[in-house]
Amino acid sequence: MREEPDRDKILENYIEADVTIEYIFIERAEEKLKPINDDQGYQMGFFNVFITGGFRNDNLLAFKTQLIEELNYSLKTYDHFKSEAIDLNQYKFGLIDNERNISEFTDMKEVFFKALMNSLRNLLIVGTNFDLEKFMNHDIFYRWFDNYTNKS
C-alpha cells in the first residue's frame, strides 16, 4: 500500500506568495482566422511572485525563467498544444485591469515588468499576430476574466 504524503509536513514548508498573477496563455498561430483558431491550445494558470523572505523572484530574469519553464512543461505535457517549445519573441503580452482595459507590450522587458508589478494585473500571453480586441469578446476570455482573474 502506498503511503500518503504527510499534509502537515507539506504545510510546514508552504510559503504564502506576496503576489499571485493570473494568466491565460494562447498558443501562437501562423495565421489568424478567428479570435482563437481550432488548432490553438490555451491554458489558464497563475504565477506566484515572492517579494520578501528567503526566496525571491521579483525581478524580470527570474519571472521570465519561471514563465518559460512552466509554459515549456505545459507544451510537452498536454496534447492540446502543437508547439514544441516557447519562444517569447513570438508572443506579446497584455495586462488587463478591472475595467477590461488592455495595456499591450510587444516584448518582455523592464518596462513591461515594472507595469506588471505596479498593477499586479492579469496577464495575457498571445502570439504577435493575435487580435486582443476580438478576443475580449470571446467566451474563453469571459470565463477566464470572470472566474480566475485578480478582480477586487
Q: What confidence tens digit (pLDDT) does each residue in 99-119 have?
A: 899 999 999 999 999 999 888
The predicted pLDDT at position 68 comes to 95
Residue 7 included in any domain: no
Q: What is the mean pLDDT of the chain?
A: 90
Range of the domain at 112: 17-148
Residue 12 included in any domain: no
Residue 81 included in any domain: yes
For residue 107, the domain's CATH number is 3.10.20
The predicted pLDDT at position 25 comes to 97
Residue 5 included in any domain: no
Q: Tell me the pLDDT tens digit for each residue of 40-94.
A: 999 999 999 988 888 888 899 999 999 999 999 999 999 999 999 999 999 999 9
Residue 35 included in any domain: yes
The predicted pLDDT at position 152 comes to 59
Tally of structural domains, the chain = 1
Residue 71 included in any domain: yes
pLDDT at 1 over 60: no
> CA nearest 136: which of 87, 105, 99?
99
